Structure 1
């Protein structure tokens, strides 16, 4: 395909996507073999990065907590013939919203990404963790029947924030497809695929609040979730997770053993002391993060403010949703993305009755 033809094709796809967005409705989409899923965000109440291991990963202790802020997914599966699959694959050539996977190249996955965060988020289907979740689960269970999977993702969780939106979407797809393919929810293959996709994906299968170790993917135990209000503030720029870890390796910042001991013994989220020893590395790469942290500490108190993961979202715990809303409004006036929400017991799950 020539460069001009490719540009024309991309323009055509964008116009079609805009038309679909204008006409899309849940009532029309929902029907046989469809389901609605919830996909929550998370924050790290604790992130304690340890030494770099021989496999290139780092030891990590973390306490993750789900938020009420969430994406909404709609999933439809359709069994089709091999001839119909071949036709649809040919018709989708050059489109960025489709990808082919499965153990026999037997899954055609179409992803309709509807960004509600104001970031104009664009991710090719083949690069989306949601597609990778479908592809790896199909391979893990040997599902080689021709199938079309349609997925709509309504994004409310901003990308590059350390809030786990893409990972949560992947976990929701695993939950949805396990149901569609009659795989038990506690099947080890589902959990293994989640771990292979990343520590955050594994967490979202459980949700709520949990202490994890290993490289952040091994569930040690759950904690009683909190219901405290939260305000999220995110800078326009993002932080590369790989770059943050490189900076951490160059300038190590060991976690406090006293804080670690306290958080490892906590039984409730409200007992966890906020700590993130990756934050100094992230702030060195994106100095605006320190401006957000200092400003939020003035609003909510220093002990209630923390960078989530490697950023670039910083959160503050406050007593009321009204207070979170006030701070979010003030942060927006300063030019930052901000949202009030709350800690939650949510996990990636099918919405009942759908």
Structure 2
């Protein structure tokens, strides 16, 4: 039996860090939503009671360092599963990009194995397992749009944002999330994003307010260290983007665009600067179908 699961990328509409917690994690408050750029995770039962993983991107680890592998391992251990699985990840989301590609692959693996192994778990139960894998994985289990608090695992589900285009651009560099958070001083953040205004924009389906309410405190760390990220932001704004923000800890930057004619102008301007550029639609609603 084989199952395929879609694993969409996420972007942060806002990302705020409130303080550093005693457990060394940061207390965050962020609005996240999904976009129509996705990996595909194929899951197939195998005779041996083991986990095998392959990926179309050769440099992605194929062991417990991979979030999808870890998701399968945790499900096997927690629920005493004696069946094996072969996992194949068709990577379309750039790696180490701030788009939660690895987290989304893990979430897709949890949803797919729930069906493949006939576990009968609810999304809430899968999200509990997901929280052991990484901070973004619970959000990716549900998909859609949410306000996340705590380490990112405390979720309040929201309506989809106003429909629009999203142009994403990733420079050819990697950014360590741990390094970015390690260099952030939560008590010295210059400007916190207007989270309440973003929630208002989504509730009122006000695209203009949404574009004006974007904010990510991690830019204070990433932009000075990686000038290419700042250059992409500036190029997007010069090309007519309605709103521009770095997603997660970077290095991917995205532009929100309401009019389709602007999309091609921004896309073409960026293609002359970086290789990895994508023009997609904002999803904002959960797409959790599991395809047999």
TM-score normalised to structure 1 length = 0.75
- Indicate the residue corresponding to 1:260 in structure 2: 195
Normalized per residue, the structure richer in helix is 1
Q: For residue 168 of structure 1, give the secondary structure of its aligned residue in structure 2.
A: helix
Cα separation, partners in 2 of 1:255 and 1:261, compared to 1, 3 Å: farther
Q: CA deviation at 1:122?
A: 3.2
1:41 matched residue in structure 2:
9
CA distance in 2, matches of 1:46, 1:295: 21
Write the mapping of 1:178-217 to structure 2, written as runs, cut at 5 A: 178-186=114-122, 188-217=124-153
Match of 2:36 among 68, 78, 84: 68
Equivalent in the alignment of 2:283 = 344
Partner Cα distance (1:159, 1:323) in 2: 27
Structure 2 counterpart of 1:240, from 171, 176, 183: 176
State the structure with more CA Rg. Answer: 1
Report the CA distance between 1:264 and its aligned residue.
4.5
Which SS does the other structure have where 1:212 is aligned?
Answer: strand
* Counterpart pick for 2:91 among 155, 169, 180: 155
Query: Structure 1 residues 255 and 75, CA, compared in 2 at 3 Å: closer, same or farther?
Result: same
**In 1: Cα distance, 2:278 partner to 2:152 partner:** 26
Post-superposition CA distance 1:15-56 (Å, at most 9, x none)? xxxxxxxxxxxxxxxxxx211110100100010111111000
Please state how far the C-alpha of 1:292 moved relative to its aligned partner: 1.1
Partner of 1:285: 225
Identify if the C-alpha distance between structure 1 residues 193 and 221 changes in structure 2 by more than 3 Å, giving closer, same or farther: same
Structure 1 unaligned spans of 5+ = 1-32, 86-106
Q: Secondary structure at the match of 1:184?
A: coil
Q: Deviations over 1:85-122 (max 9, x none)?
A: 4xxxxxxxxxxxxxxxxxxxxx412222113xxxx543
Q: Indicate yes or no: 2:69 matched with 1:134.
A: no
Q: Please state how far the C-alpha of 1:187 moved relative to its aligned partner.
A: 5.6
Per the TM alignment, residue 347 of structure 1 is displaced from its structure 2 partner at its CA by 4.1
Q: CA RMSD in A?
A: 2.2
- Offset, 1:330: 2.1
Cα displacement string for residues 316-346 of structure 1 (whole angstroms, at most 9, x for unaligned residues): 0012445323322221212342111111045
Residue in structure 2 matched with residue 89 of structure 1 by the alignment: none
Residue 315 (structure 1) aligned with residue 254 (structure 2): yes
Equivalenced residue count is 287
User: Residues of 2 paired with 1:148 and 1:316: CA distance?
Assistant: 42
What is the aligned counterpart of 1:295 among 235, 241, 258? 235
Deviations 1:208-239 (A, max 9, x none): 11111112221123222332101001111121
Equivalent in the alignment of 2:19:
51
Gaps of 5+ in 2: none
Report the CA distance between 1:126 and its aligned residue.
3.0
